[in-house]
Amino acid sequence: MQLFYAPDFTPPLYTLSEEESKHCVRVLRMTVGDRLHITDGLGTMYECRVVDAAPKRCTVEVVATHEEFERLPYELTMAVAPTKNIERFEWFLEKATEVGVTRFIPIVSDHSERREIKPERENKVITSAMKQSLKAYHPVLEPMTPFRRVVEQTTASVKLIAHCEPSERVFLPKAVGKGDDVIILIGPEGDFSPEEIAFAEAHGFRSITLGDARLRTETAAVVATVMVATVNQM
């Protein structure tokens, strides 16, 4: 199954971009009559047939439409402080997209070593992971947002903050249920400050632990994503 991403897709006929046309015709060597799949990233999966295999303007025709294709039974927002080494943060974006996530919010906290990202580059990582894992939903990447603004403005029903401070914390799988709308805050390399933790708890966030191991930021974020997915598959 070959999956292409076209957020502007309009059936029944659609012409791929020049880049995607080249990939389809020159790299994959598709010809008239061959089948491929296209998603708009909003949940619709289109099964298509090539009707014009032009290398720069490959045109396809929709033969079947699958709406809400493999929609997640839960909502998950991962609010994570980007790492100093951006490749580690991109690894998280890739793996979390493969597992299943609704929204990414890069956050700036007291101990952040990185305070900006390149959204276009990070969205390419997300798009590639979405296509590789054959998903029809493209996770939303929000702009870099201050920690306190995220805490104050979230509307998720289950609000969690992971940290390593010695305090009462609940194991993540025990803090979420099937179908929950969840947001999880993951701090930078130096963890959240005590003031940030107190601020989050005062706004209804519950402190959680991911287990006894001390994890790097990107590892903790992936583990949290997997734990939520696992709870929803039990």
pLDDT digits (tens, 9 = 90+) for 1-21: 789 999 999 899 999 999 899
Instruction: Answer with the one of 44, 66, 88 that is the final residue of a domain.
Output: 66
Query: Are 141 and 193 part of one and the same domain?
Result: yes
Q: What is the pLDDT of residue 3?
A: 92
Q: What is the pLDDT of residue 12?
A: 93
Nearest CA to 183 out of 71, 75, 73, 72 is that of: 75
Whether 199 and 163 have beta carbons less than 8 Å apart is answered as no
pTM for this predicted structure: 0.93
Query: Are 45 and 102 part of one and the same domain?
Result: no
**d(Cα 74, Cα 168) in Å, to the nearest integer?**
26
pLDDT digits (tens, 9 = 90+) for 126-148: 999 999 999 999 999 999 999 99
Whether 148 and 42 have beta carbons less than 8 Å apart is answered as no
Whether 86 and 47 have beta carbons less than 8 Å apart is answered as no
The boundaries of the domain holding residue 168 are 75-231
CATH of the domain at 80: 3.40.1280.10
Query: Are 175 and 137 part of one and the same domain?
Result: yes
